[in-house]
Homo-oligomer: A and B are copies of this chain.
Amino acid sequence: MRTIHVKTASADYPVHVGYDFLARFGSHLRKIAGKGAPKLFVLTSPEIWSLWGKQFQASLPAGNSFSVLFLPPGEQHKRFSQVERLATELSAAGADRSSLLIAFGGGIIGDIGGFLAAIYMRGIDYIQMPTTLLAQVDSSVGGKTGVNLSTGKNLVGSFHHPRAVFADVGILKTLPPRELRAGLFESIKAGIIRDPGLFRFLERNRDAILAGDPTALNRVVSSSVAMKAEVVGIDERESGLRMILNFGHTIGHAIEAATGYKKLLHGEAIAWGMLAALHISRSRAMIAEKDAARIESIIHAYGPLPRFRARVPALLEAAGRDKKNKAGTRRFVLTTGIGKSIVVENVTDTEMISAIEWTLREAAR
């Protein structure tokens, strides 16, 4: 088990990455709780609980009771109405300010659980126990929580860091292969923007990783988390460096929105968004062709990327609504080589349209 520390101005917590440590979770929990004996509440999905609930329960010390709250699967439940229902359930079950919430599930469980913990009684402690690769390498680290509005994803939320994150790659063996592949695009992103060693590891160990080899996944998850932890430690509130984590996300989010969040998984849309961003880097000649080719090649190696159709104005408009934009400027992340990225504010409409048109052509082939 490797432990990575996230240290920011407002938080300091460990991310434990390893495999098959769910059985030892109870002892970690005792350490976190210290002398207190907080009431425990587990937010999970019916599916995860049916697969892993028994092991979770068995790992807790005898007599350590807890309540289980369920969120049905699907992005359509990442809404205020569910947060209100869950908060009401917490309150009816006697949760108080010293209670501890454990978000045990994928990214939606983590985002809703974190937001619930952020606002219940103006903030209670919580633990992230991500069960998808995407949640392990990305959303469970960094303290961002949120829910969707009808006008866009994650438009409301809080910065609220967990007390600890437990990422057990052993749990990934019950993850559908397509979800594993989609999650890996965030690790590929980590390699592209800041970690050439991880990039090489992903290039060289594709088969073992896609086959779910725990040692290989352990390396991928821990390096991805370490990269993100470092970036978040430097820039917690996304005023500067943290923006690079958004590589591929401006156009990726727009593709998700334009396709109604149905056709593509998040990671797949980000893969297309990274190809689009790479197109801009290339046309600016700010990246060596050898590096650009390796980036293109690794993205396809972890595919296939689902095809999709969309209209240019819809994508352009959706990209303009990105919440990273500030007072009219368009912020955009470009790569300048393997492990290198920069944030620019001067991407023109013409460049955007050219990148979108190129992407749509690729996506229609």
- Measured CB to CB, the residues of A under 8 A from B are 36-39, 79-81, 83-84, 87-88, 91-92, 96-98, 115, 118-123, 144-146, 149-152, 155-159, 323, 325-327
- Can you list 19 residue pairs at the A/B interface with Cβ under 8 Å? A36-B327, A79-B84, A80-B83, A80-B84, A81-B84, A83-B156, A84-B149, A88-B150, A91-B155, A96-B326, A97-B323, A98-B327, A115-B119, A118-B158, A119-B119, A119-B156, A122-B157, A123-B158, A123-B159
- The 7 lowest CB-CB distance pairs between A and B, nearest first, are A91-B151, A80-B84, A98-B327, A119-B156, A122-B157, A98-B326, A88-B149
Please give the distance in Å from A262's CB to the nearest CB on chain B.
Answer: 21
Which chain B positions have C-beta within 8 A of A122?
144-146, 156-159
The residue in chain B whose Cβ has the minimal distance to the Cβ of A323 is: B121
> Which residues does chain B contribute within 8 Å of A149, judged by CB atoms?
84, 87-88, 91
B323 adjacent to A96 (CB under 8 Å): yes
> Told that A87-B156, A119-B119 touch, could you supply 15 new A-B pairs with CB distance under 8 A?
A38-B327, A83-B156, A84-B149, A88-B149, A88-B151, A91-B152, A96-B327, A97-B323, A98-B326, A118-B158, A121-B157, A122-B156, A122-B158, A122-B159, A123-B159
Cα distance A38–B150 when bound, in Å? 24
Known: A96-B327, A326-B96. Contact between A121 and B156, CB under 8 A? Answer: yes
Chain B hits for A155, CB < 8 A: 87, 91, 120-121
Cα–Cα, bound, A327→B38 (Å): 7
Q: Please judge, given known A-B contacts A84-B80, A149-B84, whether A96 and B325 are in contact too, CB under 8 Å.
A: yes
Query: This chain: how many copies in the complex?
Result: 2
Judge whether B327 and A158 touch: CB under 8 Å.
no
For the complex, what is the distance from the CA of A156 to the CA of B91, rounded to whole Å?
10
Using CB atoms, name the residue of chain B closest to A39: B327
Which chain B residues lie closer than 8 Å to A96 at the CB level? Answer: 323, 325-327
Give chain B residues whose Cβ lies under 8 Å from the Cβ of A39. Answer: 327
Whole-angstrom distance between the alpha carbons of A149 and B83 in the complex? 11
Distance in Å from the Cβ of A43 to the closest Cβ of chain B?
A: 15
Q: How far is the CA of A187 from the CA of B213 in the complex (A)?
A: 66
Q: How far is the CA of A119 from the CA of B323 in the complex (A)?
A: 13
Q: Which residues of chain B have C-beta atoms less than 8 A from A115's C-beta?
A: 119
Determine if B88 and A326 form an interchain contact, defined as CB atoms under 8 angstroms apart.
no
A30 → chain B closest CB, angstroms: 16
Q: Least Cβ distance of A41 to chain B in Å?
A: 14
Contacting pair A158 B325 (CB below 8 A):
no
